[in-house]
Structure 1
Amino acid sequence: MLGARIKQGRVAAGLSLRELAQGVGVSAMAISKYERDQIKPSSEALLRLGSALGVRTEYFFRQPVIELTGVNFRKHAKLSPQDEAQALDDVREQLERWLELEAVIPSSWPKAFLLPKGLPAHVHAYEEIEAIADRMRAAWHLGTGPIANLIDRLEEGGIKVILTPHDGGKKFDGMVAIANGNTVIVVGESWPGDRQRFTLAHELGHLVLRGRLAEGLDEERACHRFASALLVPRQEAVRLLGASRSWVEPRELYMLKHEWGLSMNGWLYRALHLGILTKAAAKRHWEFFAQQGEGGTTWREQEPGKPYAKEYPLRFTQLVYRALAEEMIGESKAAELLGLTLVDLRLRRRMEAFDAPGCH
């Protein structure tokens, strides 16, 4: 059991046997034997393993109970098996801490994800997805305006959002899965906010549309349509752009991106889907975007100006501090769940230390 935890931690950290051995000060053969439970690391070696892997020693004794099912892992063909394993192990480790927390808090604190009532059993055309996205907004009381923080809304709706730094050089495009009865969506930690938001909405689309699409409808295309419709309802897109356009100014697209959290390219696709732009007009925009940019990077690859701000999950950290405040867990367990030292936890409790938004 200890060996399996060491290997899981190593894979999640993206380290080879040799690299971990150098960090611990032992041979690669010793690490291999640790992982196969042929020998046990000393207490000192276990501390060095924790330091090298960026985990507390309690991690090695946690029971791995995460079973991922219904996995929809969107990825580029170039994503290596090692990168995929690293991302999945990181997701499992983060979910383990969620389940540890849920084992000691009231069952009413975490919420279960439920689909809205009244969704159509069958979807026969992509245009019908507009009404489904509107139904999702209505069920979550989102109105028709911009969604200020999509991660927060998904978590409030019972979905566990995991941010992973392991995206294989941005070759990983997102994941949705069920883990021990929990609905989970995974996106990249380093992505700009508009990419995070579109991916989150796309993966939500898989949950909403699965089993409803008529034969001949492509699920990925359908989820793209759902994502853009969820982020920008039809009536708002028409109100802001007009019913018909031959050209949309880049500055106009940039302003809309920062108001609604949908990329400039996403807005062009939205206008195309709604008939605001013809195919020929949309093509002119993309040809123009392909000619703009700096350093060999076009606007199709990296949009101009300031990126849309990233979003961060907050619910797990908030619940840890609530459980600590209500004496359901002690400081040591809270520090372990948050991946902090006791000193760092106490500094945060006294409001003497702060991290980036969304961190502990």
Structure 2
Amino acid sequence: MNYRHRSSIQVGDVAQLFDGKRLRLARQLAGLRKNALAEKVDKTPTAIAAYEKSTKRPAPATVAQLSLALGVDPSFFLPGPVALEFSDAVAHFRSLRSTTQLARDQALAYGLATVDVSATLERHVEFPEEDIPHCEIRADVESPEGAAGALRGRWNVAPGPVGHLVRMAEHQGVLVVFSPPQGASVDAYSFEGLSRPVVVLNPTKDNFYRQRFDLAHELGHLVMHADAEPGSPRIEAQADSFAAEFLMPEEQIKNILPSKADWAQLQRIKESWGVSLQALLYRSRALGIMSDVTYRNAMIFLSSKGWKRQEPGVMPILEQPSLLPGAVSLLAEAGVSQQTLADEARVPLSLFRQICSRAPMDESLVLDESQGSPLPEGVVSLFSGSH
């Protein structure tokens, strides 16, 4: 099969078909407020707002200016693979106080671009069906532990430690991606994603154990908090409780957790269960196995040894997403280039590559297609083996 890049669409045609929500998406991806964009294209903030609301169409010359100012092809402003409804994508950010609105908008826009990329790839490669239970468990939001146990049961998670959690989530239709380097100020976050649930992991947390807990925390939000106001301490505490029970079920771990700070034993449990020493200490106290005094003393010792920053032992490599990068590799074998897929998704190639990367990328890895692809090749199937 011979695939070719689409011919460039005329700017005048883009002006006729202009989707204001796509302008808002591009602006937020660029981290700009309306007034900043207006200044770049010599328009008023009111005009930018009118374009975004689709109450006014920009002239072809203005489309070209917007394209240059935002670093996107004019075709970006055409209706995308998924109808954008910003109000339907409410992201769960860890701390609303420490994260600016501009940073949250940029992060959410990246997640929405991920949905566009996913929808494009799904036209060519079959993805797993989504299986995030909502009504069945959401009514149980006052019992995060019950929700976590129900999800383990629904996903047929074997008793004991959870295996590759990123792959497990992807098997259930969740999009898991790393945010770009410029989004490192925003912690892991999640949202329903319009067509698929999305979890975006922080690219600077080079910590296997923290990444797994972050992902389990975000799964808790997806299961329990679709209709909840994000960012409240209660909601975040519930997601933490969900993550602790999902990764360390009480009935399965309470008999092996020490009541004292037996560091050798804790290290063995850490390696086996894929959770940090701090998480094990907190879990032991939460389950009433370790006293408050013992817990405090253990945390003081842990801090004095510098283990809060870097725990002892070999750090496993991060769990890597396979769903999107695997689809890209399969299509590459069929002769479909990343540029072609990026064009179809209406996103810049550099953004496409970041979204489809298996590992956190820095700017130096965002290569021109002529220089090669940072995506690993040779993937023969999207998934193999069991959880």
- TM-score scaled by length of structure 1: 0.70
Query: Equivalent residue for 1:296?
Result: none
Q: Which moved more, 1:284-293 or 1:274-283?
A: 284-293
Closer, same or farther in 2 for the Cα pair 1:346/1:173, shift >3 Å?
Answer: closer
1:227 CA displacement: 0.4
Distance in 1 of aligned mates of 2:342 and 2:184: 30
Which runs of structure 2 are paired with 1:50-89 in the superposition (5 Å)?
53=71, 59=76, 63=80, 65-67=83-85, 68-89=88-109
1:301 CA displacement: 4.9
Query: Equivalent residue for 1:24?
Result: none
In the alignment, residue 152 of structure 1 is paired with which amino acid? R
1:257 to 249, 270, 286: 270
Kindly provide the CA deviation profile for residues 152-182 of structure 1, in whole angstroms up to 9, marking residues without a partner as x: 1111111122321368654x33323222232
Distance in 2 of aligned mates of 1:176 and 1:70: 8
Closer, same or farther in 2 for the Cα pair 1:301/1:350, shift >3 Å?
Answer: closer
In the alignment, residue 334 of structure 1 is paired with which amino acid? L
Gaps of 5+ in 2: 1-17, 49-57, 346-351, 354-366, 379-387
Is residue 196 of structure 2 the alignment partner of residue 186 of structure 1?
no
Closer, same or farther in 2 for the Cα pair 1:230/1:335, shift >3 Å?
Answer: same
Closer, same or farther in 2 for the Cα pair 1:263/1:331, shift >3 Å?
Answer: closer
Distance in 2 of aligned mates of 1:62 and 1:341: 26
In the alignment, residue 85 of structure 1 is paired with which amino acid? D
Task: Tell whether the 8 Å contact from 1:86 to 1:166 is kept in structure 2 after alignment.
Answer: no
How many aligned residue pairs are there?
Answer: 321
Query: Equivalent residue for 2:127?
Result: 109
Is residue 174 of structure 2 the alignment partner of residue 159 of structure 1?
yes
In the alignment, residue 265 of structure 1 is paired with which amino acid? Q
Query: Equivalent residue for 1:358?
Result: none
Query: Between the two proteins, what is the percent identity of the paired residues?
Result: 24
1:343 to 370, 373, 379: 370
Distance in 2 of aligned mates of 1:285 and 1:71: 35
Kindly provide the CA deviation profile for residues 75-118 of structure 1, in whole angstroms up to 9, marking residues without a partner as x: 2512122222221222222222112223x236x53412242997
In the alignment, residue 187 of structure 1 is paired with which amino acid? L
Task: Tell whether the 8 Å contact from 1:90 to 1:164 is kept in structure 2 after alignment.
Answer: yes
Is residue 155 of structure 2 the alignment partner of residue 135 of structure 1?
no
Relative to total residues, which structure has the larger strand share, 1 or 2? Answer: 1
Task: Tell whether the 8 Å contact from 1:144 to 1:236 is kept in structure 2 after alignment.
Answer: yes
1:231 to 234, 239, 247: 247
**Residue 116 of structure 2: SS of its match in structure 1?**
helix
1:321 to 315, 323, 329: 329
Task: Tell whether the 8 Å contact from 1:76 to 1:173 is kept in structure 2 after alignment.
Answer: no
2:340 to 324, 330, 333: 333
Which runs of structure 2 are paired with 1:190-269 in the superposition (5 Å)?
190-191=204-205, 192-210=207-225, 218-242=234-258, 245-249=259-263, 251-269=264-282
**Residue 199 of structure 2: SS of its match in structure 1?**
strand
Distance in 2 of aligned mates of 1:177 and 1:203: 9
In the alignment, residue 88 of structure 1 is paired with which amino acid? L
Query: Equivalent residue for 2:115?
Result: 95
In the alignment, residue 164 of structure 1 is paired with which amino acid? S
Task: Tell whether the 8 Å contact from 2:93 to 2:190 is kept in structure 1 after alignment.
Answer: yes
Distance in 2 of aligned mates of 1:6 and 1:117: 34
Distance in 2 of aligned mates of 1:349 and 1:300: 33
Query: Alignment RMSD, CA only?
Result: 4.3
In the alignment, residue 177 of structure 1 is paired with which amino acid? F
1:150 CA displacement: 0.9
Query: Equivalent residue for 2:384?
Result: none
Distance in 2 of aligned mates of 1:331 and 1:211: 33
Query: Equivalent residue for 2:6?
Result: none
1:49 CA displacement: 6.7
- TM-score scaled by length of structure 2: 0.66
Distance in 2 of aligned mates of 1:151 and 1:347: 20
Closer, same or farther in 2 for the Cα pair 1:32/1:160, shift >3 Å?
Answer: farther
Query: Equivalent residue for 2:319?
Result: 311
Closer, same or farther in 2 for the Cα pair 1:41/1:222, shift >3 Å?
Answer: closer
Closer, same or farther in 2 for the Cα pair 1:3/1:343, shift >3 Å?
Answer: farther
Closer, same or farther in 2 for the Cα pair 1:30/1:119, shift >3 Å?
Answer: closer
2:300 to 272, 287, 300: 287
**Residue 161 of structure 1: SS of its match in structure 2?**
strand
